[in-house]
Amino acid sequence: MFPEGTGPAPDPAGSHFERRIRSFQPRRSRVTTGQADALKRLWPKWGLDIDGQCTLDLAELFGSDCPVVLEIGFGMGEATAQMAAADPGTGILAVDVHTPGQGNLLNLADRNGLSNIRVANGDAIILLREMLPPASLDGLRVYFPDPWPKTRHHKRRIIQPEFLTLAATRLKPGALIHCATDWEPYAEQMLEVLTAHPDFENTQEDGGYTPRPAFRPRTRFEGQGLDKGHVVHDLLFRRMQPETAGPGETTGPGEPGDTAAPGKTARTGEPPTAP
C-alpha cells in the first residue's frame, strides 16, 4: 500500500528473528481515505517500523527531558490521544499492528496538535528486546489485550512471567505497569503472575485490583463491554528497585548494566516542541 519509507511495512522484522508464539494476530480491515492520507503524510515524521535492527534513542524521538511510556495495543487510538492531550509532558510510544488504527491515531495527533505521540508498527516483544535500552521507560500500559479465551490459546496471552521479566529490564525503578481487561479469567491470571513476579509490587495495599485511574479514559470498546455486563479490572504494579550485583556477579542478559547494545542508534522525526 505504501512505498518504502512512506508508511508502515507489512512485516518490518521479516525473518531476522526466530519464530515464536505470537500474542497478537493481524486484523485485516479497510483503510479509509483519511487514514491513508495521515499515514502517508505523518509516518515519516511520527512513525517507525519495529525491525529489530537498531536501538532507539528516546531522547531524540521525544526530547531529552521527556519521560516515555510504552503502550502496547492501542486499537483506534482514541484513548491514547486523550491521554497524550491530558499529559503533554509525557511521550507515548504506542505500538500496534492494525493499519487503520495507526492511521487514525496519527490523524488524531495531527488534528489536536499532539506532538508527544510516536506510532510503532510491529511486534512489541522485538521492540522491548532489541530496540529499547535498559531502564529507559517510565511506564508500560497494556489495555484490553486479546484474552485468548480458549484454554489451548492461553499460552498466547501477553501477560506471562517471561514477558514481565523482559519488561522489567526496560522499566526504570518506580515505573508503573498498568493493565486493564474486561475478561475476568484473564484478570485473575494477570493478578496472579504480577503478584508472583519478584520485580513488581502491587500499588494496592490489599493486593487486589485498583479502581480505574482517572488518567485512563473509558474507551468505546470498554463501554461496549460494560453494556454487555462485563466487569473491567485495572491492575497497577510498580517496578521495584533491582538488586545490585555483588562482587564477581554480573547482571543477566538484557538487564540494566548489560552493555551489549543491539545495532546502531535510530532517529525518527523531530523532538516535540514545548506545549
* Distance between CA atoms of residues 61 and 45, nearest Å: 10
**CA–CA distance, 116 with 275 (Å, rounded to integer):** 9
Of 71-75, 88-92, 181-185, 218-222, the range with the lowest mean pLDDT is 218-222
Is the pLDDT confidence value at 190 over 90? yes
Please say if the pLDDT value at position 127 is more than 70.
Answer: yes
Read off the amino acid at residue 27.
R
- Using alpha carbons only, give the angle 204, 141, 184 rounded to the nearest 5 degrees: 60
Please count the residues of the chain.
Answer: 275
User: Cα–Cα distance between 189 and 12 in angstroms, integer?
Assistant: 31
Cell 495495543 appears where? 73
Q: What pLDDT score was predicted for residue 222?
A: 86
Q: Over 70: is that where the pLDDT of 93 sits? A: yes
96 catalytic, yes or no? no
For 109-125, what is the mean pLDDT? 97
Query: What percentage of the chain has pLDDT greater than the value 90?
Result: 68
Please answer whether residues 142 and 179 qualify as being in contact, where contact means their C-beta atoms are separated by less than 8 angstroms: yes
pLDDT at 3: 54
The CB density around residue 212, as the number of other CB atoms within 10 Å, is: 15
Cα(139)–Cα(81) distance, integer angstroms: 16
Output phi, psi for 61, to 5 deg.
-70, -40
Confidence of residue 9 (pLDDT cuts 50, 70, 90): confident
pLDDT digits (tens, 9 = 90+) for 149-169: 888 868 989 999 999 999 999
Residues 6+ apart with CB under 8 A from 19: none
- What pLDDT was estimated at residue 49? 96
Q: Residue 35 corresponds to which cell in the numbers above?
A: 487514514
- Catalytic option among 146, 182, 199, 258: 146
The residue ranges of DSSP E strands in 75-136, in sequence order, are: 91-96, 117-121
Mean pLDDT, the chain, integer: 85
> Strand runs (DSSP E) across 104-170, as ranges?
117-121, 137-143
Q: Which residue type occupies 171? A: L
Q: Please name which of 124, 241, 125 lies closest in space to residue 172, comparing C-alpha atoms.
A: 241
Q: Which residue has the cell 520485580?
A: 199
